[in-house]
Amino acid sequence: MNHDTAISRPTGDSTQSTRSTLRQHFDVAVIGYGPVGATLAGLLGRAGLTVGVFDKAGAIYPQPRAVGFDHDAMRLFQRMGAAQALAPHIADFRDSCYYGADGQLIRKVARLPPPFPLHWAPNYTCDQPAVEAVLRATVDAMPAVEVHLDSCLTGLQDDGQGVRFAVREAPAQSTQHYSAAYLVGCDGASSTVRRSIRAELASMAYDEPWIVVDLHVDPAYLDQLPQTNVQYCEPQRPSTYIVCPGNHRRWEFMVLEGEPREGELSEQRLWALLQRWVDPAHARIWRAAAYRFHALVARQWDSGRVFLAGDSAHQTPPFLGQGMCQGLRDAGNLAWKLAMVVQGRADTRLLQTYTEERRPHVQATTLLAKEIGYLLSERDPLRARARDARLLAEGGGSARTLIRQEMIPGITHGLIAADAPLAGVTLPQPRVRNADGRNCLLDDLHEPDFRILASRRADIPGLRELAQAAGVALVVVCNGSGAAGDDPPESVSDLDGLLLPWFEAHGVQGVLARPDHYVYGGFTDLAGARSLLHMLENTRVRCTPALA
């Protein structure tokens, strides 16, 4: 397949790589070393694939953008080996209070109470550059991953057997040529890869100008500021306040009709916006930027051996804090599929399920962010009061509390047994103790692969033989009091008591889980488990688990 920026092969010395000790060919080329590219490279590197990462910038983009991410993201960081190192740079995300037109509480968005279903806090606050530094340090230490900074992708050609691509490298600005079995464009909102595959962005009809201001506040003044995150749903000027790590605080202000939308944001203008909360004697402006908050999703996420992930495929208004999280989910979804295909363990058709699964998920989440955006930014005072009355009525006269994580959907399309219970839902992750007495998190028991998790209580005869015949790891879940002498060797004790009540609540005795810890389907007996494995086999995905 030829794309409009097709390249030709190198013709002479001037185009030869100056990095002769480095690879010219990779299993996967990742274009863009933002959070999504770094996570994808880390997951692929952990899976043992050779990866070339190319970023046109020489360093991490230094300005804070994302100030929040969720437990799905942390689970991926755990998988790539970065979770522990992130700890000094993140803090728990505070609950959000929505205040209405007359200053009354109209809604609360809180987090799930412990025990947390994925072990990690449901939401964290962070500074994006600090998170990216940890991700990059983790990836940089992986021998199978080569990172090329100051290296701008200028063209690519997919010939059906692989992807050849050209990169302009600083400082000489010489063009180098590489190839890869697959190429993923994680190159952000103005993606060259997206243009190369001629994928259009479809608008989800949201385009609002906002100003985002990040401040470092005098620590002695912090207790004068709100202690929760706040959505000021005030028709005069909708705005948002977010408690970020340390003394970092963020305000976001809707730009009103008639106000300048772009260009220089004077300190005078910014302090006028901030004066209700803080003044220059108590804080320093770290950075301010005017944004158009968009809702855009690419119509096409893949073409032959080329894929899009992260902001190159979609952009969302930030009201749910899901922009980066969506991109990280893309990385998590694509990484295990690319690994299985490259390692010859799955048919290439598995890769088609990437777009099938991720596009509707991103659309649903973006739609929700857009709805929240409209809800909080009502400018008409009468309609704003009507909204407040409606929300309070929904809560039976007082503000209702929504759980943030419950707003994020599961997978609804793709490689799941759609009619089976729990299909497309994320598998909980308790701490477990295995038969050898080793404690670890559930995900860390095995290398990522399909596996069956079943209740010890059900004790389904024949399940072990079925799993063995299918080449799928079996995890028999016992309660937290410890495996008893007669428990099978694949037993683990659920130290957080998450899985058995979860099976029970959903009327299943076990689940077949995918390598990315989404549930393929739940089952109640041996026939159900057999039928799930049979369906999976028909998709020509082979299960050959490697024990950790």
Ligand X SMILES: Cc1cc2nc3c(=O)[nH]c(=O)nc-3n(C[C@H](O)[C@H](O)[C@H](O)COP(=O)(O)OP(=O)(O)OC[C@H]3O[C@@H](n4cnc5c(N)ncnc54)[C@H](O)[C@@H]3O)c2cc1C
CA-based torsion, 524, 425, 530, 332: positive or negative: negative
Q: Nearest CA to 235 among 375, 108, 389?
A: 375
- Name the residue nearer to ligand X (CB basis): 37 or 117: 37
**Distance in Å, CB of 125 to ligand X, minimum:** 8
CB of 252 to ligand X, least distance (A): 7
Q: What are phi and psi of 194, to 5 degrees?
A: -60, -40
In 10 A of CB 393, how many CB atoms? 10
- When binding is defined by CB under 6 A, the residue of 26, 54, 77, 523 that contacts ligand X is 54
Q: Pattern 182-211, binding to ligand X, x per CB under 6 A?
A: ----xxx---x-------------------
Closest contact distance (angstroms) between CB of 274 and ligand X is 16
Under the binding rule (CB under 6 A), the answer on residue 291 touching ligand X is yes
* Residue 194 beta carbon to ligand X: minimum distance, rounded to whole angstroms: 10
**Near ligand X by CB under 6 A: residue from 101, 152, 384, 500:** 152
> Nearer Cβ to ligand X, position 150 or 347?
150
**Is there a contact between 193 and 340 (Cβ–Cβ < 8 Å)?**
no
Region from 59-67, 222-230, 376-384, 390-398 binding ligand X, contact rule CB under 6 A = 59-67
Number of residues in contact with ligand X under rule CB under 6 A: 35
Nearest approach, Cβ of 161 to ligand X (angstroms)? 23
Which 3-state string (H, E, C) describes 518-534? Answer: EEEEEECCHHHHHHHHH
Pick the binder of ligand X from 100, 117, 327, 521 (CB under 6 A). 327
How is residue 31 written in tokens? 């274009």
| 123 versus 509: smaller Cβ distance to ligand X | 123
Find the binder of ligand X among 100, 323, 414, 430 (CB under 6 A): 323
Nearer to ligand X, 287 or 534 (CB): 287
Q: Which of 30, 67, 420, 458 binds ligand X (CB under 6 A)?
A: 67
CA dist., res. 455 & res. 439, Å (int):
19
Q: Rounded CA gap, 38 and 513, in Å?
A: 25
Helix (H, G, I), strand (E, B) or coil at 4: coil
Strand positions, DSSP E, 117-186: 123-126, 145-148, 151-158, 163-169, 174-185
Q: Which long-range contacts (CB under 8 A, 24 or more apart) does 222-225 make?
A: 222/247, 222/249, 224/278, 224/282, 225/249, 225/277, 225/278
Closer residue to ligand X, CB minimum distance, 317 or 545: 317
With CB under 6 A as the contact rule, the residue among 29, 42, 69, 458 that binds ligand X is: 69
Are 451 and 481 contacting, i.e. CB atoms less than 8 angstroms apart? Answer: no
**Interacting residue with ligand X among 57, 149, 255, 273 (CB under 6 A):** 57
Give yes or no for residue 68 binding ligand X (CB under 6 A).
yes
482 backbone φψ class: left, alpha, beta (φ>0; ψ -120 to 50): left
* Alpha carbon 323 to chain centroid, angstroms: 8
Minimum gap (Å) between residue 52 Cβ and ligand X: 11
> Which residue among 27, 234, 311, 496 contacts ligand X (CB under 6 A)?
311
Residues 406 and 326: their CA atoms lie apart, in Å, by 15
Give the nearest distance from C-beta 35 to ligand X in angstroms. 5
Contact call for residue 532 and ligand X (CB under 6 A)? no
DSSP 33-98: -SHHHHHHHHHHHHTT--EEEE-SSSS---S----EEEHHHHHHHHHHT-HHHHGGGEEEPPPEEE
Q: How far is the CB of 192 from ligand X (least distance, A)?
A: 4
Residue with tokens 């998920």: 361
- Binding segment for ligand X among 67-75, 257-265, 411-419, 486-494 (CB under 6 A)? 67-75
CB 12, min distance to ligand X, A: 23
Reduce the DSSP state of residue 305 to 3 states and report it. Answer: coil
Tell me the CA distances in angstroms from 271 to 213, 224, 294, one per residue in order.
10, 17, 26
Q: Is 354 in the site for ligand X (CB under 6 A)?
A: no
DSSP state of 277: T
Give the range of 21-29, 60-68, 155-163, 526-534 binding ligand X by CB under 6 A: 60-68
Find the shortest distance in angstroms from Cβ 533 to ligand X. 35
For the window 13-42, what string marks contact with ligand X as x by the rule CB under 6 A? ------------------xxxxxxx-----
The 117-146 site mask, x for binding ligand X (CB under 6 A), equals -----------x------------------
Phi, psi of 184 (to 5 degrees): -120, 125
> Of residues 134, 135, 212, 458, which one binds ligand X by CB under 6 A?
212
The dihedral sign for the CA sequence 479, 481, 487, 491: positive
| Selected range binding ligand X among 62-70, 106-114, 343-351, 384-392, rule: CB under 6 A | 62-70
Is 56 a binding residue for ligand X by CB under 6 A? The answer is yes
Give the interface with ligand X as residue ranges (CB under 6 A): 31-37, 54-57, 61, 65-69, 128, 152-153, 186-188, 192, 212, 291, 310-311, 318, 321-325, 327
